[in-house]
Amino acid sequence: MSIAINRQAKADYEIIETLEAGISLLGSEVKSLRNRQSVSFKDSFVKIKGSEAWLYNLYISPYSKATIVKPEPLRDRKLLLHKSEIMRLLSKSQQKGYSIIPLELYFKNGLVKVKIALVKGKTNRDRREELRRKDLERELSRELKSGKLKL
């Protein structure tokens, strides 16, 4: 069951590889996610420190009924990955132009998971080309529906 999707990622980046990771959350953060409170991927990214992967700038709104300690909404959160996955991501992300970002936050078997992706930034030229291609596909489908174009 999907909680939140980073829609802007597909527009800004070319997705090279995706991976599923667990995320270390506090109880009140999980309750907040279950209550469908707001989540924002704006400026969020994954950075590998030593042999651990960390998720930065993921906003999870505080749970309104949390008791004594309310966690900071933009705190750094540890991602739960195997060492081999972390090392593979580290080696690929060190290449020029590559980075790791979160794509989706969702529940799987009662646990919160994050889909992360190794991405490469798109240039303005790539974006224009993609828009042009989508326009052509849209026109073609309209012509097929109206019966003007026969295959």
pTM greater than 0.85 (yes/no): no
pLDDT of residue 121: 85
Report which of residues 41 and 146 the model is more confident about: 41
State how beta strands 77-80 and 98-108 pair: unpaired
Average pLDDT over every residue of 87-103: 90
More confident residue, 23 or 148: 23
Considering the four listed CATH numbers 2.60.120.260, 3.30.230.10, 2.40.280.10, 1.10.3720.10, the one that applies to the domain covering 2-121 is 2.40.280.10
Domain boundaries, the chain: 2-121
pLDDT confidence of 150, banded at 50, 70, 90? low
86: Cβ contacts below 8 Å, ≥ 6 apart: 48, 51, 52, 53
